[in-house]
A and B are shown apart, each in its own frame.
Chain A
Amino acid sequence: MSLPIPITVIGGALGAGKTTLVNHVLRANRGLRLAVLVNDFGDLDIDAELIESAGSETISLRNGCICCSLGGGLTEALQVLRKLPTPPDHILVEASGVSLPRRIAGAAGGPGLRLDGTLVVVDAVAVRRQVADRYVGDTVGEQLKSADLLVINKVDEVDHAQQDAVRSFISERAPGIPAIEAVRGAVPLAVILGPRQTPASPAGHVDGTGPAHTELDTQSFESAEPLDPAALKDWLNALPPGVLRVKGVAELTGDGPPACTVQVVGTRIRVTPRDAGPTRSGARLVAIGAPGSLSDDLFARLRDGHPPRVLV
């Protein structure tokens, strides 16, 4: 059975920049077959020469990506994508401005699919007004709280004092949820789609797999030994706030499953059992974080928490 297709839900209030972010992903993408589900094609700004064919429900791009209308319903659209002759590598679902991402995320699972995480785009200019709005205030507040990862967009449109005010407002409204700041939705693709494979370079900057306006911190961990599941769990539950994503595979000690896949998207932590270990034994993890946020000893506890295997 093929691996389930990861789904990223992109939420946020009207005008926050969800479509801009989707447009950015489609432009910056190199080599992945992406599917994006949107409420309205009209706002998608796709260069004409990129379009292979356009129908009323779908637009196919030359690079293998596909854009679909959500008009017929999310569940139906996801099933159609899953059953394509060549299914997409990753699905982005753009929620409407009043959707509660939690509800969409609930539907973005099921056979052959895997919810990767929920990104909520925040309008740095308008968020404080939106949260106080008579009609949508509760909804916007709920969107912030239900994010796994926040993208604070339009930071170039506010001055430094306002940026600080927005940061503290967000950390008050959405405590503990990692955030990355962006201009015109330009978030490095590694944040939205996950780091490509496991890392080649041990530390430093991730190549943003495309023209990114923000650079990222990255740290990686490689061990020839299996990990102690309890130590892994402790480490994951104590990730510092700057960590945006962790991805990897690990062989495990103990009587449980022999190996696992680790997927962290902001506050969403998933350790999925695997029947077989990774092709190479041991464990390999990579973490990415907002610039300047990852310390060199990020993996120290994991390393310390797993004493070398003693053979008797």
Chain B
Amino acid sequence: MTALTIYTAKRIETMYPYRPSVEAVAVRDGRVVGVGTVDELAGWGEHTVDGTFETKILMPGMVEAHAHVHAGAMWRWPFLGWFDRKAPDGTLCPGLRSKGEVIARLKAADAAMQDPQAPLIGWGFDPIYFPAGFEFTARDLDQVSTDRPVFVQHASGHVAVVNTAMMALEGIGPETDVEGVLKGDDGKPTGVLQELAAMACAPVAMGAFISAANDELAMKAWAEEARNAGVTALGELASAGVYDPAKRALWSTVVNDPSYPARVSILACTALGGPTDPADAARIAAQFAAENTDKLRYPGIKLVLDGSPQGFTACFRFPGYFNGAPQGIWNIDPHELPAVVEAYHRQGHIIHCHCNGTLAVDAFLDAVEHALTVAPRFDHRHTVQHSQFTQPDQYRRMRALGMCANVFSNHIYFWGDQHASMVVGPDRADGMEAAATVLREGVPLSFHSDAPITPLGGLHSAWCAVNRLSASGKVLGAPERVSVEDALRAVTLGGAYQHKWDSEIGSIEPGKFADFAVLDEDPLAVAPNELRDIGIWGTVVDGVPRPAPGNG
């Protein structure tokens, strides 16, 4: 029999109903054997007591049920943001406060590159923090290099700046007739490319982004960021590229390596490539489950139905956008959606559908109702993803249809003020991310970050749902606040449930994987508004401590 380790901690919040708060957890073969006191656990026989976490708090490793691997793609390139950022490997990247500093960091990166032809990419540049009238164009980037193509992406992701060498390489010139390719008074492009169509004029750089999005480096950096945030299981919802067998093989190699610090649940998605016929896509994705392991799962699929509220592309019911913007953008025709959903439903997939606006939720619920009518199925766990403005009648319907809600609570903080002033108006903004309604109506709940859209981290998502504070400090919709207990349950068991993984992860209880978040303070004891400030030592995955950089 393999060794039994009893980890002791200052406190262990287990989410296991029979021993919710204990001092010790016994682990064998990467799984929890029992929780309680050291004396109780000694009953299992020969063991060693490990006091590594004597001053720490353990809670179940958090489950980020909706994020994207491309969150890990950027760190290979120089970070050019205004604020200090810590890379997943612990390196501190100081914020850059002048044009000269930005150029200097790019020059250093240029000098360090082996291949003189390879393009240099910078990211996170955020000119909104520079003084009014600040301009950053090809002229500035030409100071970095006149030979090497350079491409700098703004933090928003909606704008890029390229140098003259990049324009020459890509054939961007006075005759380029694409909206968003900005030109000076002389008719020549300035190097500023606004929005995707214009950025697509630099396919070399965009291609580098696309191929980096889900490569090995990205997979690893993504899990390191998760570890640093106390997250032990990651849901990958659209960027995994798993209809490509080579990419699936890479996922298997990388995630199943014992040193990889997270479990991953991948939802196949055809939005970025794959079979165009949903029946084919459903059948092929169902075969991925043959590659399931303890660390890597393929439980279902992801659909993307509408756009985003802050981009005014989410699809809303009457009365629509507060600023009068048009209804929104459909990525799938709502009239075709029932057949699409039925195809995946019949193959046994969990269907997670991106629905930001209320009308998109209606369309998805119509489609699920259709699928359940023609092909009744128990315990499907079809999930409304984002569910940002979903109304009480829709949550009642979701309960009746046996569906789940993964609520994008981080929006309250990052865009809540904009939702009140522009997107839906102050009244409906109070009803965004309506977690209390979700619980009251009996719909299984989780919260997510959608990283890289907002920073990965269950404690932050829980903090948003508990406090409902916007970036400007306003409380938006106090009646929709939930308790710390409920919020923590949502970012652990709640996320696990929606990936059909709750029998093995999401709580610290006998039989489950020994996956813990290791915290400096007890989330159930701190003031609720300090939840997001709790220091995170790292995680334990499979019973193995995974310290964040500096905590080893």
A residues with a Cβ closer than 8 A to B are 1, 14, 39-42, 56, 69-73, 75-76, 79, 96-98, 100, 103, 106-107, 109-112, 114-115, 133-139, 142, 270, 272-273
**Would you give 23 A-B contacts (Cβ < 8 Å), ordered by A?**
A39-B276, A73-B273, A75-B206, A98-B334, A100-B329, A106-B178, A107-B196, A107-B197, A109-B177, A110-B176, A110-B178, A110-B197, A111-B170, A111-B171, A111-B172, A111-B201, A133-B335, A134-B359, A138-B327, A139-B327, A142-B326, A272-B177, A273-B175
Query: Which residues from B are CB-within-8-Å of A270?
Result: 177
A71-B270, A71-B275, A106-B197 are contacts. A98–B330 as well, Cβ < 8 Å? yes
Chain B 38-58, CB within 8 Å of chain A: the 1/0 string?
A: 000000000000000000000
**Shortest distance between the CB of A270 and any CB in chain B (Å):** 7
Query: Which residues from A are CB-within-8-Å of B171?
Result: 1, 111-112
A42-B276, A96-B333 are contacts. A114–B326 as well, Cβ < 8 Å? no
Query: Which residues from A are CB-within-8-Å of B272?
Result: 72-73
A42-B276, A71-B275, A106-B197 are contacts. A111–B176 as well, Cβ < 8 Å? yes
B333 touches A71 (CB 8 A): no
B197 touches A109 (CB 8 A): yes
A98-B330, A111-B172 are contacts. A75–B359 as well, Cβ < 8 Å? no
A135 touches B334 (CB 8 A): yes
**Shortest distance between the CB of B163 and any CB in chain A (Å):** 16
Looking at the complex, which one of B200, B270, B276, B330 makes contact with A107 (CB distance below 8 Å)? B200
**Shortest distance between the CB of B309 and any CB in chain A (Å):** 16
Looking at the complex, which one of B179, B206, B274, B331 makes contact with A106 (CB distance below 8 Å)? B179
In the complex, which residue of chain B has the Cβ closest to the Cβ of A97?
B333
A109-B177, A109-B201 are contacts. A71–B327 as well, Cβ < 8 Å? no
B residues with a Cβ closer than 8 A to A are 170-172, 175-180, 195-197, 200-201, 203, 206, 210, 270, 272-277, 315, 326-336, 359, 362-363
In the complex, which residue of chain A has the Cβ closest to the Cβ of B270?
A71
**Shortest distance between the CB of B195 and any CB in chain A (Å):** 7
Looking at the complex, which one of B276, B277, B332, B362 makes contact with A98 (CB distance below 8 Å)? B332
In the complex, which residue of chain B has the Cβ closest to the Cβ of A96?
B333
A100-B329, A106-B197, A107-B196 are contacts. A136–B180 as well, Cβ < 8 Å? no
The binding surface of chain B is classed by DSSP as loop
**Shortest distance between the CB of B18 and any CB in chain A (Å):** 48
In the complex, which residue of chain B has the Cβ closest to the Cβ of A83?
B203
In the complex, which residue of chain A has the Cβ closest to the Cβ of B201?
A110
Residue with the greatest number of chain B CB neighbours at <10 A, chosen from A135, A138, A270: A135
A136 touches B335 (CB 8 A): yes
**Shortest distance between the CB of A157 and any CB in chain B (Å):** 19
Apart from A75-B196, A112-B171, A272-B177, 11 more pairs, CB < 8 Å: A14-B336, A56-B275, A75-B200, A98-B329, A100-B329, A106-B180, A109-B176, A111-B176, A135-B363, A136-B334, A137-B327
In the complex, which residue of chain A has the Cβ closest to the Cβ of B180?
A106
**Shortest distance between the CB of A49 and any CB in chain B (Å):** 24
- Rounded to whole angstroms, the CA-CA distance of A142 and B270 in the bound complex is 26
B178 touches A71 (CB 8 A): no
**Shortest distance between the CB of B242 and any CB in chain A (Å):** 14
**Shortest distance between the CB of A5 and any CB in chain B (Å):** 13
In the complex, which residue of chain A has the Cβ closest to the Cβ of B175?
A272
- Rounded to whole angstroms, the CA-CA distance of A259 and B206 in the bound complex is 35
- Rounded to whole angstroms, the CA-CA distance of A42 and B179 in the bound complex is 33
B273 touches A98 (CB 8 A): no
Query: Which residues from B are CB-within-8-Å of A39?
Result: 276
B276 touches A71 (CB 8 A): yes
- Rounded to whole angstroms, the CA-CA distance of A260 and B272 in the bound complex is 40
A96-B333, A139-B327 are contacts. A71–B179 as well, Cβ < 8 Å? no
Looking at the complex, which one of A98, A137, A272 makes contact with B333 (CB distance below 8 Å)? A98
- Rounded to whole angstroms, the CA-CA distance of A252 and B135 in the bound complex is 37
Query: Which residues from A are CB-within-8-Å of B330?
Result: 98, 135-136, 139
- Rounded to whole angstroms, the CA-CA distance of A282 and B333 in the bound complex is 50
Query: Which residues from A are CB-within-8-Å of B270?
Result: 71
In the complex, which residue of chain B has the Cβ closest to the Cβ of A273?
B175
Query: Which residues from A are CB-within-8-Å of B334?
Result: 98, 135-136
Query: Which residues from B are CB-within-8-Å of A42?
Result: 276-277
In the complex, which residue of chain B has the Cβ closest to the Cβ of A104?
B197
**Shortest distance between the CB of A94 and any CB in chain B (Å):** 12
- Rounded to whole angstroms, the CA-CA distance of A1 and B336 in the bound complex is 43
- Rounded to whole angstroms, the CA-CA distance of A56 and B210 in the bound complex is 21
